[in-house]
Structure formats: structure tokens, C-alpha cells
Structure 1
Amino acid sequence: MKVALAADDEIANHYDELPLWSAPFGQLILEHVPLRRGQTVVDIGAGTGFLAVELAQRCGSESRIIAVDPWAEAMAVLRRKVDYLKLSNVELVISDAAELALPDGSVDVVVSNLGINNFDNAARVLSECHRVLRPGGRLLLSTNLVGHMAEFYDAYRQVLDQFGLDLVPLDRHIDHRATIGSTAALLEAAGFVTSFVESSFRMRFADGTALLNHYFIRLGFLDGWKSIVPAEDTDRVFTALQAELNRRSEATELSLTIPTACFDAVAQPFGQAAQAEANISSTV
């Protein structure tokens, strides 16, 4: 999923209330992030501030929470939340995370809830996170994984096959998502020693019509799904896909599985990181 950072106040104003998409991922981070008085935390890709606001309150007023995002409209929403809650320990930075105006080794924790999914320059951002973290500082990031919404893609594959359309774009679309290995490799290349926790949740809909008409599905996923087929085939494919999803949900409901992961990466000096063997562990 990649939400376009449209200059649209209405999207930003309603962003928290419309999707529950980011909450399970953020909860994974909140279960594992260090919560200590007086620490400096940077929230990369803060958006409208769900995670930054929680950390500002949970870490206490002596902490310093720096929320970073280039989406100015979303940050305006976060500003209103910070003012309403009278949070004196939150700083807002409207900026790309590839260049953080922070000294080397000045940060205790970096968090990013689904941010890596939307980085065009993930390696550069992770390198910058390593630079600003003190040795032993931690980066916690959440992501969805290859295999998400497998039930939807199975129906999509069937419809494409029925029409005799090329399945390669569908496979490419599915395979572009993160894996444990690909994400761990990015983190290790940036100087981190990495562990992770895997989980999953379900998105449930009455049927395919409800899914395809859902606001957040249309905002975050529908354009990508439609790009899989030639434009001249879009209408007939999606009419058939909706019918197939409805058929599959006749006896019960449409339930989509979302596999998730939270990576807990410890910043190592590059001399040590080059010699350290990655400690990758999985807990379901």
C-alpha cells in the first residue's frame, strides 16, 4: 500500500478516522519500543501522529518526540492534536527523512510505522537513522509482508486466468512487498543487528462489493490493483472480480489475512556491524 501524499486537507483531516489499517502495525511497535523517561525518539513517516502522540504520553513529559513527515497537511492535523492535548514534548518536522537535521548519535530510539513501505529511498533513510542513533540505540519499524490479502489475490488470479490475461504483472505486484529477509538485509546493510516479531490480523468485509467500495481500499490499494491489467480490460476484469469475491463470500464473509512484522534493530558502530553476525529470530 502506498498512499499518495496529495495536497488534500480533507484526506488528512479524516485520515485517522477512516482507516484502521495502521493501528495493528503501530500496536506491534508499542509492545516492543523502549519507554524511558528523558529519551529522544524520532518518528519517521509520522503522518497524522497516531504513534508520536502515544509515545509522547507513554514516555512522559521529560522525553523528546520528533515527528518527521513530508506530508504537510497530515502534520497540520498532528499539530492540532498536540495543541489540544497540550503536549509540550512533541516537535514537528516537515521533511524527507533522508536528511535529518539532527547531530550524530543524538537519538535513543527511531520508530517507523509502515514508513519503509513508502520510502522511495529506503537504504538512504535507514542509513540516516543509523547516523542519528547513539551506539546501541534502537530502530523499530513495522511492515506488512508478502502474502498479504492472499484471499483477494487468489480470486484476482482466477479472473485473469478466465480472461486469458497475463499473470506476470499480478505476480510482480504481489512479490514487490517486503519479506523478512529483504527487510533484514536493508537494516543490516545500514549498520543494524536485527531481530523481528511476526504476527497477522484479518480485514473482514461482507462481500467483494463492500471491499471494493471501502474508502481506504480505494485510497490505498485500488489504483495499484487496477494497474495490473491493461486499461481497456479494467472494467470487465473488475466487474468479474467483484462477482467472484461476492460468490466466495455467499456462505460466510470475505476475510483477508494481513501478515505483519515488527523489526527491532540495534545500531552498531560500522566496524562492529561488519563483523557481527545478524541475529535474526522469529516469534509468532
Structure 2
Amino acid sequence: FGLKLLDAIKLRSNITALDIGFGLGFPLLEVAQRLGNSSKVYGIDPWKVAIERTKTKINILGLNNVELLEGVAENIPLPDSSVDLIVSNNGINNVQNLEKVMSECKRIAKKSAQFVATVNLDKTMIEFYDELEKGLIEEGLNENVSQLKKHIYHKRRPLDELKKLFQSNGFKIEKLIHDSFKLRFLNATTMFNHYLIRLAFLDSWLDLVPEVLIQEIFTRVENRLNHKAQDDEEMVLTVPFVVIEAEKS
């Protein structure tokens, strides 16, 4: 979905841009190259390892219009009304306090600033979450089912709520582009062993299950998903998302 974000950006010279949650450098470095040296592009992220890797990429690419900010988007160290373009490629999904982040974006954005964000929707990876919920229900773990639903809500707000957050912070939504993609695996075993899953998802999934039942419940989930994968000749995790294009009023 990052390519969809890049397609939505208005390319202008002499602007200041910010990438919220740049991770390993995308779309930050791509935006910096496409805008050129007349523009300054900031990236903010709290992940120290990612910052160091992105610094290496900046040096390799020879970029001199990028500045990395180590920190959280709830407290952006930029002046009021100083930014012409805000981008976030699934970054605002992963903040602790989305309301505070949007308030900060309102503060730093100039009038008519563009805000382009890609956001995973609440049915993301529903194939896995449905099986995990089933496993929790079978064990009578109603509190953990509630915890699971809160986890999904925190990571993937309903679109209507996102729209209201943008609008209440002075961003007029210009366009919503809906799309989806599929993460395909041979089966659930390969899915659980995949680097992306282990890096970005697995720990938070394990936290949803009582420690004494992790092995039992996850084995059951894996076996069920493997059985389905055998019938379907693959395992799929569906990722629906939306590109939000907005402008500061």
C-alpha cells in the first residue's frame, strides 16, 4: 500500500514534509528523492534499530534533505504551522495515543497542508484472528476475547472514527481509496515462522493468551489453519486498507 500513498502525494518544490513512523525508511527516503533537494523531509520514529538502518541507507543514497527525529508522534519536535506535507504508511495504526498524534498533526500543519495516510482496516488478518478467538472461547476465556477485540480496535480503528479524527483536527478529507492485498503462505507453520510475523505481530498475539495455555491454543490454531491451507492449497491473510487523502483547512 505504500505505492498507493506515493501516488497520492502532490509533488511540489520548496516544502517541508514529515513521515510518521518511517520504520526502515519507507516511504521517507522515496519521498525525499521524489521531492528533491529544495525540500526538507523529516521522519519520526521511536525504533532505535530502524533509525540506525535508515541512517545507513541515507548515506548510501547520498541524501542531504532528510532529518531523522527519534521520538513518538504524540510529541513532534517541530514548530507550529511548519509542515506542508504529512505522510504515514501504516504508522498512525501503531501509535499509543492516536488522538494526541492527530492533535500534533493539526498543530504542525500549515494551512492547506496535505496529509496522506495508509491505514489497515479492522478486518486485517481476519483469517487468523477468527481462529484465535475461537480457541479462546473454547477455553472459556471471555476476558481474553475482550482483550483480543481491544487489541484489534487499538491497532485498526473503524474508518468512521478515523474520518472523524481527521475532520475534528481540521483536515478535510479529499479522497478515500479502498484496496486490499493478500499475504500468501504455504500453511500456518510457514506463516508463524515468517520474519515479518515474528518481528511485527507474534509477540502481541502471544500476549493475548494466558501463558500456561499458549502452547495448547496456538497449536490448535496452527493445526486448524494448516488443515484449511491443505484444502485451499495455500494460507492467506487478507489485508484491507484505505488511503486517506486530506487537506488542512
**Residue of structure 2 in register with 1:17 after alignment:** none
**Residue of structure 2 in register with 1:20 after alignment:** none
Displacement of 1:162: 4.3
Q: Does the aligned pair in 2 maintain the 1:123–1:190 contact within 8 Å?
A: no
Which of 210, 217, 226 is the equivalent residue of 1:246? Answer: 226
Amino acid at match of 2:101: V
CA offsets 1:55-110 (integer angstroms, 9 cap, x no match):
11111221211122222332121111111111121122223333333332222101
Displacement of 1:196: 1.9
**Aligned-residue CA RMSD (Å):** 1.8
**Residue of structure 1 in register with 2:241 after alignment:** 260
1:132-147 equivalences under 5 Å are 132-147=108-123
Distance 1:173 1:129, change over 3 A: closer
Amino acid at match of 1:59: L
TM-score by length of 1: 0.80
**Residue of structure 2 in register with 1:193 after alignment:** 172
Aligned mates of 1:165, 1:78 — CA distance in 2: 42
- Give the strand-richer structure, 1 or 2: 2
Q: Does the aligned pair in 2 maintain the 1:127–1:191 contact within 8 Å?
A: no
**Aligned length, in residue pairs:** 244
**Residue of structure 2 in register with 1:33 after alignment:** 9
Identity of aligned residues (%): 38
Amino acid at match of 1:182: E
CA offsets 1:245-282 (integer angstroms, 9 cap, x no match):
110011311011101111112112xxxxxxxxxxxxxx
Aligned mates of 1:229, 1:141 — CA distance in 2: 31
**Residue of structure 2 in register with 1:215 after alignment:** 195
TM-score by length of 2: 0.90
Aligned mates of 1:131, 1:172 — CA distance in 2: 28
**Residue of structure 2 in register with 1:7 after alignment:** none
Displacement of 1:161: 4.3
Aligned mates of 1:65, 1:218 — CA distance in 2: 30
CA offsets 1:205-256 (integer angstroms, 9 cap, x no match):
1001111111221222222222333222111111111111110011311011
Aligned mates of 2:62, 2:26 — CA distance in 1: 15
Displacement of 1:164: 4.6
Is the counterpart of residue 233 in structure 1 residue 209 in structure 2? no
Amino acid at match of 1:184: K
User: What are structure 2's unaligned runs of at least 5 residues?
Assistant: none
